[in-house]
Amino acid sequence: MDNRRVFLKKAGISTLALSLPYATTLSAMQTQNEDKILRVAIMGLGSYGTRVAEAMKDCKRAKLVGVVSGTPTKIADWQNKYGIPAKNCYNYENFDQVKDNPDIDVVYMTTPNSLHKPHCLRLAAAGKHVISEKPMALNAVEGREMVDACTKAGVHLLVGYRMHFEAKTLEVVRMQRAGDFGKTLFFQGLSGFIIGDPTQWRLNRELAGGGSMMDIGIYSVNGARYMLGEEPIWVTAQESKTDPVKFKEGVDETITFQMGFPSGAIASCLSTYALNYLDKFFLNGTKGFAEMQPSTGYGPIKAWTNKGPIEREHITHQTTQMDEMAAIILDGKKPVIPVDGEEGLKDLVIIDAIYEAVRAGKKVEIK
């Protein structure tokens, strides 16, 4: 018995802990784990960065502790509003110094698309986890560089797929996977709005990498994949433009695209900056259907199936997203729908193929 006590003491395990029921001990361990808080710095203090910051006020597992911005006045405003200490504030020239700051776990990049890759590589080199807004990069080549850099550095690369945690979305996905709709053979995704200020970065090819497809269109690309539960093997696509002054060369106004899947399922989708009221998903199977409208807006999401409406409490998407991402990073939780860099890379491969299909005017196989 004495030898056993000595062993337990060295191992840091008490005899009391071993005498407790397994479930009680496990519960205590989980509670201790849930006490950990993910400490977040936001890079890019624009409208979406502000939306994430406001949502995080209600988070249980994630806390805003730092900022990265090229605008000193914004930094000062955020310091006052969110109580951020000066030591956790950086600009785009010196944010590599975050490597010496143990009070920041992850940096959430809400910057223009073209900045995601270079900033991600610098953050990975600094040993910090990275959350990137979508699309993760300008193309699949850049996306692969980001994934590889974070893997090499041993840090997480996550993508801001907030809909992957939205309750009604998850219920439709659960029903599809359970076979409630039979064999699902058709998906429709309509994603669009009328974009405003023609001088904004989203209409700058160098910063955005394209037009509507590199912004709102990714929702239909990604939605088709998680709603059908498959990866597409081919795409066709067509571009149309009604305002070539506002939508210059290389900045797409409207793209209609189709995707084919191994099961024989087809997705028919629209991405546009020219029309409002386009936020709809429709999934059809041999035994039923699901429809969502709005399907990806900030909410509340509305969803119904052939069995009736889906009712779930609306929680601010970014609040749920950041708490769930905290669980992924801190606890190793596996989400129902992935949000890692490999998931972001799959969307980029498809978007590359869509642009190639527009240029070539023919079906493009996805390898």
The active-site residue out of 90, 117, 128, 134 is: 134
The active-site residue out of 90, 108, 161, 219 is: 219
- What angle separates helix 113-125 from helix 140-153, to the nearest 10 degrees? 20
Tell me how far CA of residue 159 lies from CA of 218, 236, 278, 353, 361, in angstroms: 12, 26, 23, 20, 31
For residue 194, count CB atoms less than 10 angstroms from its CB and return exposed for 0-12, middle for 13-18, buried for 19 or more.
exposed
- What angle separates helix 341-360 from helix 140-153, to the nearest 10 degrees? 170
334 is catalytic: no
Q: In terms of DSSP bridges, do strands 308-310 and 106-109 run parallel, antiparallel, or are they unpaired?
A: unpaired
In the 8-state DSSP scheme, what is residue 159? E
- The structure tokens listed for 95 are 């944010």
For residue 241, count CB atoms less than 10 angstroms from its CB and return exposed for 0-12, middle for 13-18, buried for 19 or more.
middle
Contact predicate 295/223, CB 8 Å: yes
Comparing C-alpha atoms, which of 17, 21, 15, 67 is closest to residue 40?
67
- The structure tokens listed for 156 are 């997480």
- 118: Cβ contacts below 8 Å, ≥ 6 apart: none
Contact predicate 119/111, CB 8 Å: yes
Distance CA 38, CA 103 (A): 10
219 is catalytic: yes
- What angle separates helix 167-178 from helix 217-228, to the nearest 10 degrees? 40
- 132's enclosing H/E stretch is strand 129-132
Torsion on CA atoms 350, 356, 357, 359, rounded to nearest 10: 150
Question: Catalytic site residues?
Answer: 134, 219
